[in-house]
Structure 1
Amino acid sequence: MPSRLKTHNTFYDKTFAAGNTVAYYLTLQISQRSICYAVFNPASEKYISFESLIISDADPADETTVLNELLKEKIWLKQPFLKVFFLIDNSFSTLIPPPLFDESKALMYLKFNHPADEAYEALFDSLKTNNVVTVYGALQTLTELAGTTWPDVRFYHCSSVLIESLLINFKNKTDDNTLFLNVRSGGYDLVYFKDKNLHFHNFFRYNTKEDFIYFLLTAIEELHLNPEEITLMLSGDIDKSSILYEMIYRYIRTSHFIERNGVFGYSYLLDDLMGHKHYTLFNVQQCE
Structure 2
Amino acid sequence: MEIGNNIKATLSHIDPSIKEKLPESCHLSIQVQLEGFTYALLNLKEQKYIALEHYDFVPEGNFTKTAEAIDRVIASKVFLQNRFTSVSASISHQTNSLIPRILFDKNHEKELLAFDHAILQNEKEYSDWLPTIQAFNSYTIPDELKRCLEKYFKRLSWKHDSSILIESLINQFKLQEEQKIYLSVQDNYFEMVVLKGEKLIFFNNFSYQTAEDFIYYLLFACEQLNLNPEQIPVVISGKILNDSELYQLVYRYIRHVEFSSRNASYTYSFVFDDVKEHFHYKLLNQHLCVS
TM category (shorter chain) comes to over 0.9
Relative distance call for 1:174 and 1:274 in structure 2 (3 A) is farther
TM-score (ref. length: structure 1): 0.94
Say whether residues 1:206 and 2:190 are aligned partners: no
1:243 is aligned to 245
Which one of 47, 50, 68 corresponds to residue 48 of structure 1? Answer: 50
Deviation larger for 44-53 or 61-70: 61-70
1:235 partner letter: S
Residues of 2 paired with 1:174 and 1:255: CA distance? 18
Residues of 1 paired with 2:151 and 2:20: CA distance? 20
Residues of 2 paired with 1:131 and 1:18: CA distance? 44
Q: Deviations over 1:153-178 (max 9, x none)?
A: 000101000000000001113512x1
How far did 1:217 drift?
0.2
Residues of 2 paired with 1:107 and 1:58: CA distance? 28
Residues of 2 paired with 1:148 and 1:21: CA distance? 23
Which one of 27, 30, 50 corresponds to residue 28 of structure 1? Answer: 30
1:151 is aligned to 154
8 Å Cα contact 2:177-2:196 kept in structure 1: no
1:40-119 equivalences in 2 (<5 Å):
40-55=42-57, 57-60=58-61, 62=63, 63-119=66-122
8 Å Cα contact 2:174-2:198 kept in structure 1: yes
Q: Which SS does the other structure have where 1:15 is aligned?
A: helix
Deviation larger for 187-196 or 266-275: 187-196
TM-score (ref. length: structure 2): 0.93
2:142 partner letter: L
8 Å Cα contact 1:21-1:80 kept in structure 2: no
CA RMSD of aligned residues (A): 1.7
Residues of 1 paired with 2:198 and 2:79: CA distance? 42
1:131 is aligned to 134
Q: Which SS does the other structure have where 1:147 is aligned?
A: helix
8 Å Cα contact 1:89-1:185 kept in structure 2: no
Q: Deviations over 1:107-145 (max 9, x none)?
A: 222211111111111011101122211000110111122
Say whether residues 1:161 and 2:164 are aligned partners: yes
Residues of 1 paired with 2:151 and 2:160: CA distance? 19
How far did 1:5 drift?
1.6
2:174 partner letter: K
1:194 is aligned to 196
8 Å Cα contact 2:109-2:125 kept in structure 1: yes
Gap regions ≥5 residues in structure 2: none
Which one of 162, 176, 186 corresponds to residue 173 of structure 1? Answer: 176
8 Å Cα contact 2:30-2:37 kept in structure 1: yes
Aligned length: 286
How far did 1:277 drift?
0.2
2:39 is aligned to 37
1:72 partner letter: A
Residues of 1 paired with 2:20 and 2:204: CA distance? 39
How far did 1:282 drift?
0.1
Gap regions ≥5 residues in structure 1: none
Sequence identity percentage:
31
